[in-house]
Structures are given as C-alpha cells and as structure tokens.
C-alpha cells in the first residue's frame, strides 16, 4: 500500500465515519478498488484511531467533565447507550466479521441506510428533547440502533441520529449525542482490533503509509463532524439518502453481473 492509497482511504474513513453513509462500507469498496482486500485489520485499526483522535479533540471539554464526574447523568447515558453494541457485537462477533470480510450484503445495507435517512429527515423539526430530557428508554433505543450499525454498510451516525429524531430529540442534540456516543464505540473497536493484532493477526505494511492514512482519517473526520452539525441545523439528509440508495443499487448490480 503506497502513501497515495493510504491518504485516499484515510480521507474516505474520516469523511464517511461521521457523514451518514457508512465508513465501513465505503472502506470495503475503497480497499477493493485499490486491490487491498487483504489489508484488513491493521489498516482498519489505524484509520479508526485517526477518527477517534478527531472526536477527542472536538469533545475534549465534555470528556474532561465526564472524567471529573464519572457518575453524572451524561456518563450514565453514554454507558447505557453503549451496552447494546457491546452485547450484540460480542455475541455475534464471528457473524459480523464474516459479513464484513465478504461484503455480500453491503448493497442491501446501503439501501436500508438510505431509506432510514429519508424517513428521519422528515422528523428534524419535530423534536423537543435536549440532553437533560433524554430518558433511559430513549438512550437504549438509540444504542440498539447503533448496535445494528455494526453491519458494514449500515451508517452508525445515520442510524443513531435517526433513532434520536424518532424519539423526539431535537436535531442539534441528536447530532451532538450521536457523535459523543460514537467515542466509546470507536474506542472499543480500536481496542478489540488491537487485541486481535496482539494475537498475531498483523499485516505487513509501510509505517509511513499507515501514518499518512491515520492523519488523513483524523483531519477529514474532524471536518466531517463540523460539516454534519451544519447539515443537521440547516440542510437536508435526503442528499445522503439518495447517494447511498444509488450506491446500493450499483453494488447490487455489480454483484448480480459478477463484476464485484
């Protein structure tokens, strides 16, 4: 893997991790396009590390407050919201790894993401709850949607924002809480992947390329979060809905015709 491929894949990871279009699905397609299907775990770990760093920079003050008050209401909400993904991810780990490796369902998953985004966009102006109003039931439902997004082409940010909007959370809080909730999810993914690497599942790659990919993932991840906040406030999710619907149809056609 050269530095150019690493830079492009890092940019793809950073942008699509926080835009509602599925980073794992796009990274799968990107690796396939560059003939890097076997790059796998080590590359994914480093790119996720880049987006995690971007989140820590953006939410630094919130994270500091959580560390100082680990039993605060916000801390409890994050714990409750993360539980479904932990349970589902560990219980069905082999299944999700196989689906992610083969990509056999990603066309349908892109389409599902598009339909959910289209529906949730109509709810953006109807929410009234802020962070203090989010109930345990609300956060468990949001967390369950996040667990579903372990599937490779289901967008984590798209589903958690959609779930929050469905639960009458206002659009600004929906975006804020979605990205904050992604911190333990992304950190958990990095730790789990790092453990697998420790067990010997490490690929040989140029460190310079990995560094470039990680930096690009962090930079574009930071920009994507800022852009997504702006879109939630003033724009429409339907442009992303149309994009992933078309992408899903293209992937299904390519699979049907044996080209992918």
- pLDDT for the residue 48: 83
Name the region of 148 (left: φ>0; alpha: ψ -120 to 50; beta: rest): alpha
Closest CA to 181 of 108, 42, 49, 79: 79
Q: How many percent of the chain have pLDDT more than 70? A: 93
As given in the structure block, the two tokens for residue 6 are: 């690493």
Flag whether pLDDT at 210 surpasses 60: yes
- pLDDT for the residue 72: 92
Instruction: Tell me the C-alpha distance between 127 and 233, whole Å.
Output: 12
- pLDDT for the residue 202: 52
Instruction: Tell me the C-alpha distance between 61 and 69, whole Å.
Output: 12
Instruction: Identify how many contiguous H helices and E strands the chain contains and give both numbers.
Output: 12, 0
Residues facing residue 169 across a β-bridge: 129
Are 25 and 106 a contacting pair, CB within 8 Å? yes
Instruction: Render pLDDT for 44-90 as a digit per residue (tens, 0 to 9).
Output: 777 888 999 999 999 999 999 999 998 899 999 999 999 999 999 88
Instruction: Render pLDDT for 212-251 as a digit per residue (tens, 0 to 9).
Output: 989 999 999 999 999 998 898 888 899 999 999 999 999 9
Q: Mean per-residue pLDDT for 165-180?
A: 94
Range of the domain at 134: 3-256
Are 6 and 210 a contacting pair, CB within 8 Å? yes
Instruction: Render pLDDT for 220-229 as a digit per residue (tens, 0 to 9).
Output: 999 999 999 8
Residue that has been written with the tokens 């609300």 in this structure: 138
Contacts of 230 (CB under 8 A, 6+ apart): none
Q: Report how many domains make up the chain.
A: 1
- pLDDT for the residue 40: 58
Please provide the average confidence, as pLDDT, over all residues in the chain. 89
Instruction: Render pLDDT for 68-81 as a digit per residue (tens, 0 to 9).
Output: 998 899 999 999 99
Residues facing residue 129 across a β-bridge: 169
Instruction: Render pLDDT for 80-138 as a digit per residue (tens, 0 to 9).
Output: 999 999 999 889 888 888 888 788 899 999 999 999 999 999 988 888 999 999 999 99
Closest CA to 146 of 126, 167, 163: 163
CA angle (167, 51, 39) in 5-degree steps: 115
């Amino acid at each position: 893997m050269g530095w150019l491929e690493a830079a492009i894949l890092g940019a793809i990871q950073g942008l699509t991790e926080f835009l509602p279009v599925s980073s794992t699905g796009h990274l799968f397609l990107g690796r396939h396009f560059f003939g890097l299907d076997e790059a796998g775990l080590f590359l994914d770990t480093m790119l996720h590390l880049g987006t995690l760093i971007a989140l820590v920079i953006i939410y630094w003050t919130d994270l500091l407050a959580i560390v100082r008050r680990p039993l605060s209401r916000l801390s409890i909400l994050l714990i409750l919201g993360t539980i479904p993904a932990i349970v589902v991810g560990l219980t069905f780990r082999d299944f999700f790894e196989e689906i992610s490796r083969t990509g056999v369902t990603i066309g349908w998953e892109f389409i599902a993401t598009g339909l959910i985004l289209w529906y949730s966009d109509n709810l953006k102006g109807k929410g009234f709850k802020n962070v203090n109003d989010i109930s345990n039931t609300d956060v468990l439902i949001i967390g369950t949607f996040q667990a579903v997004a372990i599937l490779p082409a289901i967008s984590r940010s798209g589903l958690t924002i959609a779930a929050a909007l469905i639960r009458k959370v206002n659009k600004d809080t929906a975006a804020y809480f979605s990205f904050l909730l992604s911190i333990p999810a992304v950190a958990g993914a990095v730790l789990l992947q790092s453990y697998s690497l420790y067990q010997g599942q490490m690929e040989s790659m140029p460190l310079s390329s990995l560094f470039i990919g990680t930096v690009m993932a962090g930079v574009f991840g930071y920009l994507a979060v800022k852009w997504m906040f702006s879109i939630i406030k003033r724009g429409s999710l339907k442009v992303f809905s149309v994009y992933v619907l078309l992408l899903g149809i293209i992937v299904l056609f390519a699979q049907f015709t044996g080209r992918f």
